[in-house]
Amino acid sequence: MTTYSSETSKFRQLLLPFCQGYGIDIGFGGDAVAAHAIRMDLPQPYASAGDASVQLGGDCRNLLWFRDDVLEFVYSSHVLEDFPEELTASVLEEWSRVLKPGGNLVLLLPDQVRYASYCARVGAPQNDHHSIAHFSFDYVSGVARKLGNLEVVASFPELGDYSFGVVFRKNAATHSQSNQLAALEAKLADTFRERDQIQLQLNRIRLHPAYRFARMLKSWVK
């Protein structure tokens, strides 16, 4: 396992105010953003910046431990860039799923162009896990914007040699969620309307002379 000084340690004081309450640090790498953060990583992390143990080991593309809308913050440092471009949106959607409305998605990430320039300047090998050549603040913000339920509340386009930070706040509902809710409400209203119509028909049947006569004959048979 590779040991290194974490990016989180460099910018903890800047980002910690956005990580209050009940939340999770995804891919914490041995050094969580806060002592109260739930520590989530691979069962066997490939790198470590500290000796804190993994509390939840698994795939961060599926936060199966959590229901919707339960966490007050989700923090992640230098993880999102490891996924192929076609997965960026689905990963962000999953991370935002577990946030309460008003909760913060706090991301510390590398700008790939600046990162490549930094590695060339100092003669260091690049991280082979980085998979998107144009990964940047603008790229991540653009993908998040399309999800419809995340708004930028704080941004730090340049941090250190190659990082950037962004804080998204989860809105109460996406446009598609609002449409889904409206559709469910309409379906429920139709169900109640059908129930009322059936009840009205039953009442009419009960008042019909033939029905009353049949009930009377049944009582005589008894």
Kindly tell me if the per-residue pLDDT of 2 is higher than 60: no
Dist CA 196 CA 199 (whole Å): 5
pTM score, whole prediction: 0.76
Task: Count CB atoms within 10 A of the CB of residue 152.
Answer: 14
pLDDT at residue 202, rounded to an integer: 77
Three-state DSSP class for residue 14: helix
Fold of domain 2-172: Rossmann fold (3.40.50)
- Closest by CA position to 169, among listed 111, 107, 109, 110: 107
Measure CA 116 to chain center. 29
Q: pLDDT for 44-62, tens place per residue?
A: 766 666 778 899 999 999 9
At a CB cut-off of 8 Å and minimum separation 6, what does 53 contact?
Answer: 39
Residue 42's region, left for phi above 0, alpha for psi from -120 to 50, else beta, is beta
- Would you say 78 and 65 are in contact if contact means Cβ atoms under 8 Å apart? no
Pairing of strands 2-3, 47-48: parallel
- Which 3-state string (H, E, C) describes 64-116? CCCCCCCEEEEEEECCHHHCCHHHHHHHHHHHHHCEEEEEEEEEEEECHHHHH
Kindly tell me if the per-residue pLDDT of 24 is higher than 80: yes
Mean pLDDT along residues 65-81 = 97
pLDDT band at 175 (very low <50, low <70, confident <90, very high): very low
Task: Count CB atoms within 10 A of the CB of residue 135.
Answer: 22
